[in-house]
Structure 1
C-alpha cells in the first residue's frame, strides 16, 4: 500500500515537472533475444501516444536500430565528442518522428573523457531541439555493454528474454552480475519476447521472481508477453507495420506502464540531467572496478 502511494506521488510530481525526461535502458542476457525490435516497438507505441522519443543505440553493425530500420547513419556520438559534428547532425529521424542517436563508438570512450569533453557533451544534450519526453537506451547484450553500467544508478532497466532455457539462464546471470556490483539496483522489469504459450512464460517468470527475491534480494516486475510473430522477428517492429496486432497491443500497455514508474536520479527536467548522471555513473563504475580488482589481489 505504501509503495502504491509512493508511486502515485512520483507520478504527480512528474505531471507538475516541466520537461521531465523518462529514461529506460533495455538490455538482454545475450544476442537474438529481440531486444532491438522491442526498443522499436516501445518507441513506436510511445510516439503514437504523443511522446517525443530519443533512442540511444549502443549496438554497431547490421543488428543496430538504424540498420534494422533502413536508416542511413554515417556518424556516431564519437563525432560529437570529437567536435566533428553537432549532436543534431548525428541524430537520424525514423517514422513516427522517432529520433535515433548511434552511440556504439562514443560509449566506448566515455570513461576516458576529460572535464572539457564532459562539459561539451552535457551542453550538447542540453541544447537538443525539440525537447524529449522519453529516452530509450538500446544497450549491447549482456555484460559487454558499456552503457549498462553507466545507466544503472539512475535509470530503469527492462530485461528482454525469450522463454528459452539459454536465454533465461543468461538473463538471470546478468541480473546477478548487476546486483552484485551495484547494490542500489534492486528493481528490474521483465518483458518476455517470442512467446508461444503465455502460461508457460508466466510460470517461468514466477520461478525467476522467486529465485531473484530469495537469492539476489531483488524485485522483478512483469512488463508483458510479446507473442511470437515471424514479421516481428524480421526486425522492422510489428507495431510499425500492424498497429492492431497483439504484439503492438503489448507494447502499448508496456509504454503506458513505464509512464507510472517512480522517478530515478537520472530523470528530471532536460537531457543535461541525463548526461550528467551517465557521466557520473561512468566515474562510479570505474571506482567499483578498481575496488573489485583490489579485493581479488
Structure 2
C-alpha cells in the first residue's frame, strides 16, 4: 500500500471513535426486580469482557449495595458535599464491578447550583470514556428529575412482571417518557414469569397497548423465569449470577447479555460523540 493510501486510511479510521452506551433501567412501580436486574445484567456484560459502571440513582435506597452485601466508602453525595472527584466516589466490588452508590441526603442533582452541576457533567464525560456501558438504576416510577436522565440516555430498559398492575404501571411510565420525547428506544424485560409463554404474552399485551395508543414499538430484551435461586441469592446478599451461576435465571440473563451485544454498535463519528452529556446539559440549562 502506498503512503498516500495509508495516510487516507488512517484519516478515515481516526474520524471514528468508540463511545460508551448510556442505559437507564426503570420500572413503573417498585418491587418488580429492577435493581436486581441492573446488577446481574451489569455482571453478565462484564462476564463477556465489557467494562461496566453501574450507577445507583435510586437516591436514599441503596439497593445495589444491599444486593451485593457491600458498603461503599463514598457515594455520589460526597462528590457534591465533600468536593471529591467523581472517580473517587466510584467503588469496585469484590466481584470486580465498578459502581457508584446513590447514598442518602441528596434530593436531586438537578437542583444543585450551576457550578456544581457543570463539574458533575465534566467529570462524568471523562469517566464515560473508560467504560463500554454506563447503567443507571433509576428509582421506581418517574419524578421530574429522573425524567431528565431518562430523556438523555441512549436507551431505556423497562422492567415489569406479568402482573396486570405491573404492566399498567410500566405502560404509564413509558407513556410519560414518550410524551416528552418521541424517539427514545425502549427494551422490555419481563421478570418473574412462570414460563416463557406467560412472559411472552405479557410483553405482547404491553407492546399492543404501546402501538395502539402511543404509536411506538419496543423490543423484547428477555424473559426471566420466577426462579427460587433469585430469592436465595437476595437473602444471601449475592448477585444470583454469582451465587448460583448454573440456575435458570443466571443462564437466561447471560444469554440475554450476549444477544443484546449482537445488536450494539460501538463506533461513531465525531459528530455523534457524547449525546448523553449534551442532552443533560441542555435539559439543565432549560430548567434553570
Give the TM-score, by structure 1 length.
Answer: 0.79
**3-state SS of 2:198 partner:** helix
Question: Is the CA contact (8 Å cut-off) linking 2:56 and 2:138 kept in structure 1?
Answer: yes
- State the Cα distance separating 1:126 from its structure 2 match: 4.2
Sort the Cα spacing of 1:24 and 1:85 in 2 relative to 1 into closer, same or farther, 3 A.
same
1:8 aligned partner = none
Task: Give 1:198's aligned residue.
Answer: 196
Matched with 2:75 is 76
Aligned to 1:29: 28
Q: CA deviation at 1:163?
A: 0.9
Q: 1:152 to 1:107 in 2, by over 3 A?
A: farther
User: C-alpha deviations, 1:232-251, integer Å up to 9, x for none?
Assistant: 13433211222232212222
RMSD: 3.1
C-alpha distance in structure 1 between counterparts of 2:250 and 2:133, whole Å: 18
Residues 236-251 of structure 1 mapped to structure 2, 5 A cutoff: 236-251=238-253
Residue 190 of structure 2 aligns to a residue whose secondary structure is: strand
**What's the offset of the Cα at 1:188?**
1.2
Whether the 8 Å contact between 1:25 and 1:137 is mirrored in structure 2 is yes
Q: What is the 5 A alignment of 1:1-297?
A: 17-61=16-60, 64-103=63-102, 108-128=107-127, 131-144=130-143, 146-185=145-184, 187-233=185-231, 234-235=233-234, 236-259=238-261, 260-261=263-264, 274-284=276-286, 286=287
Q: Which consecutive residues of structure 2, in runs of 5 or more, have no partner in the other structure?
A: 1-11
Partner Cα distance (2:158, 2:144) in 1: 13
Could you report, residue by residue, the CA deviation over 1:221-267 in whole angstroms, capped at 9, with x for unpaired residues?
Answer: 111111112231343321122223221222223323433246899x9
Aligned length: 269
| Bigger shift: residues 118-127 or 106-115 | 106-115
TM norm structure 2: 0.81
**How far apart in 2 are the matches of 1:155 and 1:146?**
17
Structure 1 portions without partners, runs of 5+: 1-12, 288-297
Q: Choose 1 or 2 for highest CA Rg.
A: 2
Q: Cα gap change, 1:52/1:145 in structure 2, threshold over 3 Å: closer, same or farther?
A: farther
Asked whether the 8 Å contact 2:152–2:276 carries over to 1, the reply is: no
